[in-house]
A and B are shown apart, each in its own frame.
Chain A
Amino acid sequence: MSIDLSQFHQVFFEESFEGLQLMESSLLDLDCDNVDSETINAIFRAAHSIKGSSSTFGFTAVAEFTHVLETLLDQVREGSRQLTAEIVDLLLQSVDCLRNLLTGLQAGQTPDATHSRELIAAFNRILAVKPVAQGAGTQSATQAGKIDQPAKMEAGEAQGVTRWQIRFVPDSNILRTGNEPLRMFRELAELGELQCVASVDRLPDLNQLNPEECHLGWDISLTTAAPRSKIEEIFEWVADESDISIEAVDAIVPLATPQPDAEPAQRVSPSATLPEPMPDKVAPVSVGKEKEKESAKAESTSIRVSIEKIDSLVNLVGELVITQSMLGQLGTEFDMSKLTRLQEGLAQLEHNTRELQENVMRIRMLPISFTFSRFPRMVRDLSRQLGKKIELKLSGEQTELDKTVLEKIGDPLVHLVRNALDHGLETPEQRRAAGKSETGTITLHAYHQGGNIMIEIRDDGRGLNRQKIRAKAISNNLIGENDPLSDEQIQDLIFRPGFSTAEKVTDVSGRGVGMDVVRRNINELNGSIEVRSEEGIGSTFTIRLPLTLAILDGQLIQVGDQVYIVPLVSIVESLQPKLALVNRVAGGCDVFRLRNEYIPIIHLAEIFGIRPRNDNLEKSLLVVVETGTAKVALVVDDLLGQQQVVIKSMETNYRKVEGVSGATILGDGTVSLILDITDLVQMAGVHQQHKNGLRLVSSRAAQG
C-alpha cells in the first residue's frame, strides 16, 4: 500500500509553527533560577511532537535537530541539568532556526542546514557528548537486543530451513497488558510449520484459578526459513517479563515435519476472549485499495475553525431554511390579510441573515494574540541590544480580528513597537534622572469599540518633543515658519512622508520606513491611526481597524446620476461651502478654507467624466475626507444614507479601476462604486496639471 504522506504536510507545518510559537513564548517565561516544571514540560512536549511528526513525514533535517533539542530539554526536565541563560538563548535561536527550516521545506526548498549544524554543535558542546552520526538523530539504536529493523539482521542468519525449539513461559499477568499468546502463535505459524505443546505444570487448582491470569507455558517447535530475529520480533513486547528461550535444533530438517494432528495444546485457551485457535487462517495483510493521490502542490492558505463556530453556522442555516419555507408557504396563498405575517417573516429573515453574516465573518476571525505573541521575544532581544530595561504588557489578546487584517497589521505594529523601544523609552540612567523607575513599560492593548477594533501601543517614555517636530517640519518645508498649529496638528506631522526626528539612524528603527508608511498601511486596511503624547510622560498610538475587510460602513453620495460610496471612516465632516471661502491657488487647484486650514477641492464629476446636477458650487456639498497624508474636500450633489456595504473586488470581477477600491450592490440592485480616497487625491493632482486652463474657466463659470 502506498499512502501519499504529503497530504498531511500542510497540517504538519501548521502545527509545527504553532508548537514553535508555544516554545518561544514558554522560553521567554522561563526563569533560570526557578524553573517551572509545567513550562519546561510544555517546551519539551512541543519539541518532542515536532520531532515525532517530522521524522514520520521524512523531514530528517528537522527531526535530527529536534532530537538534540529534546535530549537537552529532557535533562533539564528531569533536573539533571541546570538551565542557564545561555541555554535559553540557544533554545530561542533554535526556534528561529527551526522556523526557517520549516518555512523552507514548506516552500518546497531544500533547507540550508548550516545554521542548524552550528546549533547542534553548540548543543553537543553543552551535552558534552560526541555528535551523533549523520542521519542517526532519529533512529539511533539505543536498545541492545531489541529489534527494530529486522531486515538488517537477516544477513547474519543461515538461509536454509531451520527447526527452532522455543520455550515460552509468560508472566502470569501477560493478559492484563492485552497481550494474547495466541496472537504470537498465529504470527509464528505464518513463518512456517508450528507445533505447540502447553505445559500445565504451574496451573493451580481449579478453585484457585484466576481466569485473568495465565499459568501456562509452551514448548514450541517451529520449522522455518525465517531468521531468529523474526522470531524474536514476535516476542518483543513481552520479552522482558517472560521466560523465553529460542534455540536452533537442526540446521536443515527433512520435509517430513511433525504432524500437527497431535492435538495441539493451544486449544486450551487461557482466555475466553479469543476462541478460535487455528493459527493458519490469518489473512495476509493486504490493503492495496488506497488510491494514490497526486499531492496538491499549490499551497492553499487555510484557516482552522473551531467546531463551535461551524455548529452555530449549521444552526443558523437551519433557521434560515425554516424562515424560507414559512415565507414560501405564505407566498403561494398570499392575500392582504396576511400582511402582518409577511412582515414578521421578513423581519425574521433579516434577523437570520444578519446573524448568519456575523457568524460567517467570525470564521475569518482570529485572536490578535497571533500577532501580539511575536512581541515578547522582540522586546527581549531589542532591550538587550539597546541596553534598556523594558517591561512589555499585553492585554486584550483574545480580541478577534479578520485574518487578512491580522496579517497586514503585523508590520505596522512591529514598527510602532520598535519606535517606542528605540525613541520612546529612555535609558535607565535617563529615566532615573527624570525621577522615573528604571524599567520602562510598553503596553499593547486591544479592544472593541463600536464595531471597530482598537489597538493601543502605549509607552511611558519621553513623549514627543513638539519643538523638535515643529523645527524639523519647518526645515523640511512641511509647514511655514509661522503656521499656527495645535499640539495635535504638530504631533500629526510625524505621519507626513519623509519625516523622521531620530538624530542618527539606528539598527532598530531607522530602516527607512517612516510613520507615513505605517499610516498608509493602516489606511489601506480602512483603518486610521492617531497619536497622543505628553512630554516626559509618554506616548500612545491608537489604531482603529474595521472588524473585517469584507464589509464596510459607507456613506452613499450622489454625483450626477451616479451613486458612489465613501468609506465612513475617512469622512471628517460634510458641509455646504461658501464661495467666499473658495480660493484658487497657483497651479490651478481650488482650495477651501475650513477654519484655519486650506483644503484642496476635488470635483468628482470632473474626474469621473459625468455631468453634475449642480454647476454651482454653492448648491453642492463638500465632503471633507482624510487620507494618510492630507485632507481633501469632495464636491458631491447630495448625501444619501449611510449603510454597511459588502465589498466586491473590482480586480477579480473586472480589472483595477483608478480611484475605485471596489464595488457593491445596493438594495435596489444597482451597482455602486466604492471610492478609493488615496487614489483620488493622486488622480486629481495629475488631472489638474493637464487641464489647468479649462478648469479655471469652469470654476469661474460656476462662480458666476
Chain B
Amino acid sequence: MTKILAVDDSASMRQMVSFTLQGAGYEVVEACDGQEALNKAKQSQVDLVLSDVNMPVMDGIALIKQLRTLPNYKFTPILMLTTESAADKKTEGKAAGATGWIVKPFNPDQLLNTIKKVLG
C-alpha cells in the first residue's frame, strides 16, 4: 500500500488530508511538526511526503533538507503545502529539495489529482 506522510501543525488540515487520502486508498502517517515527521520517516519508509511549511519545532523547509540527507529519501517526492502569499517559500523549498507544492486553499480533489500525478 502506498504510504504518505502528512505533516501539518493544524489538526483540522491533518484530518482533512488524512481523510481524503485514506478514502482514496492510501496509507497515511501523520505528524504535527518537522521533527516528528523526520522521526516517523526514519521509522518506516514512506512513498510521498506532504508537508506544511510554517510549523513549530522544525519547519517544513528544514524537514525537507533533513529528509534529503537520508539515503532512503533522496528521490522521494516531497510536496509542500503553501499559501499563495509565501512565494519566496516555494523557491526556498525548491532549493531545499522539494518536488513541488500544493497551494492552500486546496480541495480534496485538487489534492488527490496532484498526488496521483506525482505517484504515477
Q: A57-B12, A287-B24 are in contact. Are A183 and B120 (CB under 8 A)?
A: yes
Binds B, one of A115-123, A136-144, A311-319, A631-639: A136-144
Q: Do A177 and B10 have beta carbons less than 8 Å apart?
A: no
CB distance from A594 to the nearest CB of B (A): 57
CB proximity to A under 8 Å, residues B91-111: 91, 94, 97-101, 103-109
Instruction: Tell me the complex Cα distance, A12–B81, Å.
Output: 17
CB proximity to A under 8 Å, residues B1-60: 9-13, 15-16, 19-20, 23-25, 52, 54-56
Q: Do A274 and B120 have beta carbons less than 8 Å apart?
A: yes
Among A14, A271, A285: residue with most chain B CB under 10 A: A285
CB distance from B102 to the nearest CB of A (A): 10
Q: A175-B75, A178-B75 are in contact. Are A56 and B84 (CB under 8 A)?
A: no
Partner of B85, one of A9, A56, A67, A290: A67
B112 within 8 A of A: yes
Among A139, A148, A282: residue with most chain B CB under 10 A: A139
CB distance from B82 to the nearest CB of A (A): 9
CB distance from A239 to the nearest CB of B (A): 10
Q: Do B84 and A139 have beta carbons less than 8 Å apart?
A: yes
Instruction: Tell me the complex Cα distance, A471–B77, Å.
Output: 79
Q: Do B12 and A8 have beta carbons less than 8 Å apart?
A: yes
Q: Do A11 and B117 have beta carbons less than 8 Å apart?
A: no
Instruction: Tell me the complex Cα distance, A470–B13, Å.
Output: 60
A-B CB contacts (within 8 Å), total count: 135
Q: Do B12 and A15 have beta carbons less than 8 Å apart?
A: yes
Q: Do A148 and B10 have beta carbons less than 8 Å apart?
A: no
Instruction: Tell me the complex Cα distance, A58–B104, Å.
Output: 11
Q: A42-B56, A274-B120, A290-B23 are in contact. Are A143 and B99 (CB under 8 A)?
A: no
Partner of A56, one of B23, B25, B105: B105
CB distance from A616 to the nearest CB of B (A): 66
Instruction: Tell me the complex Cα distance, A135–B9, Å.
Output: 26
B66 within 8 A of A: no
CB distance from B79 to the nearest CB of A (A): 9
Chain A, Cβ-Cβ closest to B98: A177
Query: With a CB–CB cut-off of 8 A, which chain B residues contact A9?
Result: 12
Q: Do A8 and B75 have beta carbons less than 8 Å apart?
A: no
Instruction: Tell me the complex Cα distance, A57–B107, Å.
Output: 9
Q: Do B97 and A178 have beta carbons less than 8 Å apart?
A: yes
Q: A177-B98, A240-B94 are in contact. Are A55 and B105 (CB under 8 A)?
A: yes
Q: Do A183 and B84 have beta carbons less than 8 Å apart?
A: no
Query: With a CB–CB cut-off of 8 A, which chain B residues contact A48?
Result: 54, 83
Q: Do B99 and A177 have beta carbons less than 8 Å apart?
A: yes
Q: Do B83 and A51 have beta carbons less than 8 Å apart?
A: yes
Q: Do A148 and B55 have beta carbons less than 8 Å apart?
A: no
Instruction: Tell me the complex Cα distance, A273–B73, Å.
Output: 12
Q: Do A176 and B112 have beta carbons less than 8 Å apart?
A: no
Categorize the interface residue count of chain A: 35 or more
Instruction: Tell me the complex Cα distance, A15–B56, Å.
Output: 14
Query: With a CB–CB cut-off of 8 A, which chain B residues contact A51?
Result: 83
Query: With a CB–CB cut-off of 8 A, which chain B residues contact A143?
Result: 84, 87
Instruction: Tell me the complex Cα distance, A140–B15, Å.
Output: 26
Query: With a CB–CB cut-off of 8 A, which chain A residues contact B16?
Result: 3, 5, 8, 56-57
Query: With a CB–CB cut-off of 8 A, which chain A residues contact B113?
Result: 285
CB distance from B30 to the nearest CB of A (A): 13
Interface string of A44-69 (1 = CB under 8 A from B): 11001101110111100001000100
CB proximity to B under 8 Å, residues A469-514: none
CB distance from A92 to the nearest CB of B (A): 21
Q: Do A52 and B10 have beta carbons less than 8 Å apart?
A: yes
Q: A237-B101, A285-B113 are in contact. Are A138 and B84 (CB under 8 A)?
A: yes
CB distance from A290 to the nearest CB of B (A): 5
Query: With a CB–CB cut-off of 8 A, which chain B residues contact A186?
Result: 117, 120
Instruction: Tell me the complex Cα distance, A7–B74, Å.
Output: 36
Instruction: Tell me the complex Cα distance, A271–B85, Å.
Output: 34
Instruction: Tell me the complex Cα distance, A121–B98, Å.
Output: 37
Instruction: Tell me the complex Cα distance, A141–B103, Å.
Output: 11
Instruction: Tell me the complex Cα distance, A325–B97, Å.
Output: 57
CB proximity to B under 8 Å, residues A512-554: none
CB distance from A174 to the nearest CB of B (A): 10
Query: With a CB–CB cut-off of 8 A, which chain A residues contact B70?
Result: none
Query: 6 closest A-B pairs (Cβ-Cβ)?
Result: A237-B100, A178-B99, A12-B12, A55-B105, A178-B77, A56-B105
A-B contacts, 14 listed (Cβ < 8 Å): A1-B23, A1-B24, A3-B20, A11-B15, A45-B56, A51-B83, A52-B13, A141-B84, A142-B85, A177-B94, A178-B98, A178-B118, A237-B100, A273-B75
Chain A residues within CB distance 8 Å of chain B: 1, 3, 5, 7-9, 11-12, 14-15, 42, 44-45, 48-49, 51-53, 55-58, 63, 67, 70-71, 138-143, 148, 175-180, 182-183, 186-187, 212, 236-237, 240-241, 271, 273-274, 282-283, 285, 287, 289-290
